[in-house]
Amino acid sequence: MKLLLIALLASNLWGDARYKLAYRVKANVLIQLVAGMAGLSKMNSDGESVILKGSRVMVRGEKTSLILDYATGKMVLIDHVDKTFERLRIEDMQKRIAADIPGPMVDGLKRMFPGGGGGIVNEVKIERLGVKSEMKTLEAFRAKHGLSYLLPAMESIVSLTPTVARSIEELRKGGELVEALRIQIGANGKIVDALVEIRDYREGVVEDKEFLPPADYLEMI
């Protein structure tokens, strides 16, 4: 019984986590437009706050915040400008994004990133930067829920870029996550040149109430 209690207490130490997410993304016009429609409102950030708890992730931005729960398939989109929030299913949001992307853009992406891995983009370079860190909560989340710990918008973008998805997964099979990744797509990063950094990572209790929209915000029905 004592050993069980110790094991439970130890597991709780990395059950929740907080960190800052900084990113710099240079991309061609097509990728910029698709990223914006997928929910990436800006291509640069000095550090957006992220919290993880179980299957839930929240990214707090200046103008918008996003809460996703991969266990229930639901999400909350919070607009800090209008002081409103909307509840919807992740699947419905993905369909909305897909419906909003004009046909010529989809055709352009397919020419760049066909499912077979050929096409215009035949070079994907991903390198680890910084040092390896012990990020057990982050590793557990990634194993179950994919790339959303980096940017929720990446789930929509990477689904259109299987070559990139395979490269990232191959990189992570080697061990712990590092504090930063440099991702270049196309020769010398001609299509995308991105640096994503995890800063100030720490594991500790995240309260359920932190995943609630502000009390004075109006829900959009």
Over the stretch 176-205, which tens digit does the pLDDT of each residue have? 566 787 878 777 777 788 888 889 999 999
Q: Where are the domains of the chain?
A: 16-203
- DSSP conformation class of 32: H
User: What pLDDT band is residue 86 in, cutting at 50, 70 and 90?
Assistant: very high
Q: What DSSP string describes 78-106?
A: EETTTTEEEEEEHHHHHHHHHHHS-HHHH
pLDDT of residue 179: 77
Give me the phi and psi of 73, to 5 degrees please.
75, 20
Query: Quick one: fold of 16-203?
Result: outer membrane lipoprotein receptor (LolB), chain A (2.50.20)
CB 155 within 8 A of CB 148: yes
Q: Please give the model's pTM, rounded to 2 decimal places.
A: 0.73
